[in-house]
Amino acid sequence: MTSEQTPLGSGFGPATTATEALDNADLHGRTAIVTGGYSGLGLETVRVLTGAGARVIVPARDRQKAEQALGGLAGVEILPMDLNKSESVADFAAAIVGRAEPVHLLVNAAGIMATPLSRDEEGHEGQWSTNHLGHFRLTCGLWPALVQAGGARLVSYSSRGHQIAPVDFDDIDFERRPYDKWVAYGQSKTANVLFALALDRRGREAGVRAFSLHPGTVLGPLARHLSAEEIARFNVHDAEGNVVVAPERDLKSAEQGAATGIWCAVSPLLEGKGGLYCEDCDVAPMAPEDGPGRYGVKAWAVDPEAAERLWAVSTRMTGLDLG
């Protein structure tokens, strides 16, 4: 699988916007679900998808906030869901599947980053629960609708943060090791990549293909748990305190940050492909084995054995599987 991590020469790059990455695709008659679709990159994703004619369903923990953010967009439906609560995710998925209509695109863009230690209702570490388990539950619940589409794509938002840490299968929930908010974030982002790899293997015969991605460094709601000192280390502000947009340094606007997700969702270059990690609107190369490689994907995140181990662990934690 790692040998397939070779750029395709898409013609796009770090400065490409989501509208440009859409490349005039016509999405009329398509239904998409976008988690995190009422803020940050998720909101920009919804804006571009609806602009291309798609009907977009946005799960929302805070309906009032979602309505305020999405009020001016036609073709959007807001339904209640809390990604961190298993019953809420199950209810949302059941409502969608109960319509007996296909879901052509599932964009798992919601996430949290570097949070203080918290645990969900079942005792799982908070970043793992929200960033991975919630989306695992959602995908399993929506599976019949994805298969019904006869050519669905799943887009899993990861991050270069996956390079911080692989999944520690011996202590995922930090029950024995000291909690480190960045290590927890890193393993959850590695899980986002491994999840797409494992899902793609299971879905390809049914026409469901999956991709993961790094969107770029975008200063937005994801950074809400960081201190001013921590944000300063990312060099995202100039001397006057303005947010820097320098895509050549991976510092992107929301329009640029949402581009790779849109490209994964619609690009004809990805037909017949799947399980790939992408960045800058192309398939990413492998990152160096040693050291903190800035670009590309670490081998631990595209390891088929680790992907299968993740799937088994996720099934055990949630009691769910496809079908």
Please check whether residue 195 lies inside any domain of the structure.
yes
Please check whether residue 89 lies inside any domain of the structure.
yes
The CATH number given to whatever domain includes residue 250 is 3.40.50.720
In terms of Cα–Cα distance, which of 150, 43, 31 is closest to 96? 31
Please check whether residue 181 lies inside any domain of the structure.
yes
Distance CA 293, CA 302 (A): 15
Q: Are 67 and 78 in contact (CB under 8 A)?
A: yes
pLDDT attached to residue 150:
96
Instruction: Tell me the angle at which helices 134-148 and 304-318 cross, rounded to the nearest 10 degrees.
Output: 100
pLDDT attached to residue 245:
82
179 catalytic residue (yes or no): no
Cα of 148 vs its chain's centroid, Å: 22
pLDDT attached to residue 2:
43
Active-site pick, 38, 157, 185, 277 = 185
Please check whether residue 299 lies inside any domain of the structure.
yes
For residue 129, give its domain range: 2-318
Please check whether residue 323 lies inside any domain of the structure.
no
Per-block average pLDDT, block size 10, for the chain (323 residues)?
Answer: 81 98 98 97 98 98 96 95 96 98 98 95 96 98 98 97 96 98 97 98 97 87 64 67 82 96 98 98 92 84 98 98 91
pLDDT attached to residue 1:
42
- The number of distinct structural domains making up the chain is 1
H and E: helices and strands count for the chain: 11, 8
Please check whether residue 301 lies inside any domain of the structure.
yes
